[in-house]
Amino acid sequence: ETGVTQTPRHLVMGMTNKKSLKCEQHLGHNAMYWYKQSAKKPLELMFVYNFKEQTENNSVPSRFSPECPNSSHLFLHLHTLQPEDSALYLCASSQDEGTLREQFFGPGTRLTVL
Q: Is 20 left (phi over 0), alpha (psi -120 to 50) or beta?
A: beta
Contact pattern for another protein over residues 33 through 52, marking x by CB under 8 A: -------xxxx-x--x-x--
Beta bridge partners of 25: 4
Site size toward another protein, by CB under 8 A: 27
Q: Quick one: 75 exposed, middle or buried, by C-beta within 10 A (0-12, 13-18, 19+)?
A: middle
Binding range to another protein, per CB under 8 A, among 16-24, 63-71, 72-80, 104-112: 104-112
Residues that bind another protein (CB under 8 A): 2, 4, 31, 40-43, 45, 48, 50, 55-56, 90, 92, 94, 97-108
